[in-house]
Structure 1
Amino acid sequence: MITKIVFDLGLRRDITRYSPPIRAHIVTREPIDTSTDIVASLARGGLVPDDVDAIILSHLHWDHCGSPADFKTSQFIVGNGAMALLSEQPTGMSHNHFESNLLPHDRTFELHHPTAPRYDTVLDGAASNALTMRLANRQWQHLGPFPYTLDVFDDGSLYIVWAPGHLAGHINVLCQKKDGTYVYLAGDAGHDLRLLSGEKEIACWRDENHQMCCIHQDIDQARRTLDTIREAWSNKTSLGAVEVVLAHDAAWASKARVAGRYFPGEL
């Protein structure tokens, strides 16, 4: 049996279903096109939400977690520290608003921290799921330039990568292709490929109250995470060739669409 996993859910189809604080932030990001949401994308490959076994969320910002309510049987996997964000209390800039009822507690599994001595973060019914229980009993392992990874299937085909800095619980995935090379889905570890090439630096600015702002919660950790991704991107590690995909890389998205890499195509 093939386990079907989705990484991130993108934008919510109906943006009026976001909480008022998030909708207020979305106004500053318009125009937004939600015509092809995750449900429509799955349908192109002949799948419906109930076909999805698990959803790995890179983090809980509104533009990555879509509509979890559409997935009534799937398990949700989040990074350590993510669930504490779901209090609907702002934690910084206007994009940092969260919905307390976003995820189903009986189907949500929060990964243990890489340095935790024991696992203690199963949430309710997620403990009875075979996939999440495997992850619960796995130790984070060093892989190539990445200090902490979890081998999801114990066969090297899919790794969850600890990628702190952007937001509490931020994780990435490393996927092995049929030819043995890798695609690294970096979430919001960076928002421009020039951060990896060294042409650009992480942006910081002062708001109207002269408060220093950054898109990342912890800029020092974000820099360290980018350093490890950059090393993998160099194709000079034990992993060999690694393509890095940033969630907001419009240039990559355009090329991938032309090349037929969107589902039901292959990365």
Structure 2
Amino acid sequence: MASSTTTKPPVYVTMSALDAGHLTLPENLFVTDADPTKRATVPSLSFLIQHPSPPSSRPGNSTTTTTNLLFDLGIKRDLTSYAPAQAAHIAQRHPIIVDPDCAASLRNGTTENPQAADSAPLLDPSTEINLILLSHVHWDHVGTPSDFPSATFLVGSGTLSLLRHGAGPLYPADTFNSDEIPASRTVEFPPVSRPDGVYASSEPRHTPSPASARENLPPAAGGWGWQSLAGFPNALDLFGDGSVWVADAPGHLYGHVNLLCRTGPGRWVYLGGDCCHDPRILRGEKGFALYDDGKGGKRSVHVHTGVAKDTLDRIGEFVKMRGLEKGEEGDGEVQVEVVVAHDAEWREGNRHRFWPGRM
């Protein structure tokens, strides 16, 4: 695993999964060879990543020594706050569970946490979350941003334009809330250079971030730029120490990004967002389903199915290249765990790794 050009000891982050609502997916829209009558209620997971550094680039801005980063916010607890066009789509995803949402999970921990009731918050979403990185801005990932008035939002390039103006006939503006995330506290990652093609030509334009939002970024933000990393053509070293990498993950929705976190010697967790919606696709047992697009053609749940397949292939190849870190952290095997947002199997088998537990 290539990291920043440094000889310093490796930096590790701690991670915890968070319940952030559930929704119900008809399998025939997501995986090949599905029973057309089968529907599965799955989580929309969020993750807490804690980095051992002060949470701001501004000197003296905080007395704490930990940056609290959230990856995705899940589902809004108030379903009536979605845009009307979103509501029509969401009506097809019931049953939907909104309790606990992301904020409640931060305060109380898992439902199995015996100290949750009548105790002080484990983590206060209004004051103790510094950064929120959204994999993308579909309705089941944006949560309730107003719960986090102190946080700076990080999103893929083009996201703010997508929210305001939409992107083509499949993603009209009315399928988003234009003010979904606070623009004054939102930073888009740098634009990604792509080969000319269908996907690149239709991507929303980049929106420069205000200086006020950048004040609360990690010190490394001044040098943010995309670089190749172990098969990923575009990766960004979030903290400048190789502990957290943002991976450009095109195909699902414009601005879609993933996160790669180093949690210990030879141990990495790859948060795949919506690179796929079912663990069987990750295992190669199923493929992306295609269905009628209403215009005489076929489409998948991804904005560009071919590009989404390429991204999934890169993730698979990356997991196979587990020997890359030998020599950096000893001769032990490197483990890469991939977790996608809607993996019900992973959730059920890893309840002990939900906040305040650790991954």
> TM-score scaled to structure 2, two decimals?
0.68
SS of 2:350's equivalent in the other structure is helix
Alignment identity in percent? Answer: 40
Confirm or deny: 8 A CA contact 2:185 2:213 kept in the other structure.
yes
Q: Quote the offset at 1:236 in angstroms.
A: 3.6
Confirm or deny: 8 A CA contact 2:231 2:318 kept in the other structure.
yes
Structure 1 runs, 4 residues or longer, greater than 6 Å off: none
Q: What does 1:90-105 align with in structure 2 at a 5 Å threshold?
A: 91-92=169-170, 97-105=175-183
Q: Which residue of 2 aligns with 1:73?
A: 150
SS of 2:187's equivalent in the other structure is strand
Q: Quote the offset at 1:191 in angstroms.
A: 1.1
Q: Which residue of 2 aligns with 1:18?
A: 82
Q: Which residue of 2 aligns with 1:6?
A: 70
The structure with the largest alpha-carbon Rg is 2
Q: Find 2:336's aligned residue among 219, 242, 260.
A: 242
Name the CA distance, whole Å, in 2 between partners of 1:209 and 1:159. 39
Q: Quote the offset at 1:104 in angstroms.
A: 0.9
Q: Which residue of 2 aligns with 1:47?
A: 123
Q: Quote the offset at 1:253 in angstroms.
A: 1.0
SS of 1:264's equivalent in the other structure is coil
Tell whether 2:256 aligns with 1:170.
yes
Give a deviation string over 1:213-242, Cα, whole Å, max 9, x none.
210001121111001111122354525321
Name the CA distance, whole Å, in 1 between partners of 2:97 and 2:223. 40
> TM-score scaled to structure 1, two decimals?
0.90
Tell whether 2:127 aligns with 1:63.
no
Q: What does 1:95-174 align with in structure 2 at a 5 Å threshold?
A: 97-115=175-193, 121-123=208-210, 125-131=212-218, 134-174=220-260
SS of 1:64's equivalent in the other structure is coil
Q: Quote the offset at 1:85 in angstroms.
A: 1.1
Give a deviation string over 1:149-193, Cα, whole Å, max 9, x none.
111112221111110110000000001112431110000011122
What runs of 5+ residues in structure 2 fail to find an aligned partner? 1-64, 110-121, 195-205, 326-333
Give a deviation string over 1:39-62, Cα, whole Å, max 9, x none.
111102511112000000000000
Q: Quote the offset at 1:7 in angstroms.
A: 0.2
Q: Quote the offset at 1:83 in angstroms.
A: 1.3
Confirm or deny: 8 A CA contact 1:111 1:136 kept in the other structure.
no
Higher relative contact order at CA 8 Å, sep ≥6: structure 1 or structure 2? 2
Q: Which residue of 2 aligns with 1:252?
A: 346
Confirm or deny: 8 A CA contact 2:272 2:341 kept in the other structure.
yes
Name the CA distance, whole Å, in 1 between partners of 2:177 and 2:288. 27
Give a deviation string over 1:118-164, Cα, whole Å, max 9, x none.
x9722452132232x63352221222122211111122211111101
Q: Which residue of 1 aligns with 2:113?
A: none
Name the CA distance, whole Å, in 2 between partners of 1:124 and 1:23. 34
Structure with greater helix percent: 1
Name the CA distance, whole Å, in 1 between partners of 2:85 and 2:96. 17
Name the CA distance, whole Å, in 1 between partners of 2:188 and 2:95. 33
Name the CA distance, whole Å, in 2 between partners of 1:245 and 1:130. 26
Q: Which residue of 1 aligns with 2:296?
A: 210
Task: For 1:128, give the aligned amino acid.
Answer: E
Q: Which residue of 2 aligns with 1:32?
A: 96
Task: For 1:231, give the aligned amino acid.
Answer: E
Aligned length: 262
